[in-house]
Amino acid sequence: MNVSLSMLLLIAACAAVTIVPRVLPFLIIRNLKLPVLAMRWLSYIPICILTALVVSNVLGENGPLSFDWEVIAIMIPTILFALWTKSLLLTVVIGVVLMAALRFFIG
C-alpha cells in the first residue's frame, strides 16, 4: 500500500484537529484555581458520560423500548466484577473479553 504525501498530510491534519480540542483545555486550566463549586460540578462529568454510554447501549437501536439483551447479559457480570475488584482497568478488560466471547460463541 502506497501512501502519497497529500494523504500523509491529511492524516497529520486530522490528528492535529483531534488533539487540539482535547489537550488545549487541559493546558489552559491546569494553571487556574477553579472554585470549589466548579470542581464539584466537574467531578460528576465522568459518571454522566459513562451512564449515557451504558444506557444508549442497553436500549439498542430499534426504538425506545427495545433492549439489547447481549449487552444486558454481559453488563451484569461486569458490574459484579467491578464491585468485587474496584479496578476500572480489569473491569473494562473483563467486559470486553466477555462480550467478545459471547459474540464468538453465539454469533
The top-scoring range by mean pLDDT among 44-48, 55-59, 61-65, 75-79 is 75-79
> What single-letter amino acid sits at 87?
S
What pLDDT is attached to residue 1? 65
Task: Report the C-alpha gap between 101 and 70 in whole angstroms.
Answer: 11
pLDDT by residue (tens digit) across 61-71? 766 666 778 88
Percent above pLDDT 70 for the chain: 93
Taking the CA atoms of residue 75, residue 78, residue 83 and residue 84 in that order, the dihedral angle to the nearest 10 degrees is 150
Residue-wise pLDDT tens digits, 23-41: 888 888 888 888 899 889 8
User: Model-level pTM?
Assistant: 0.54
Percent of the chain scoring above 90 in pLDDT: 35
Q: Which residues contact 34 (CB under 8 A, 6 or more apart)?
A: 42
- Under DSSP, is residue 99 helix (H, G, I), strand (E, B) or coil? helix
DSSP string, 46-105: HHHHHHHHHHHHHH-SS-TT---HHHHHHHHHHHHHHHHH--HHHHHHHHHHHHHHHHHH
Please state the domain extents for the chain.
1-32, 36-106
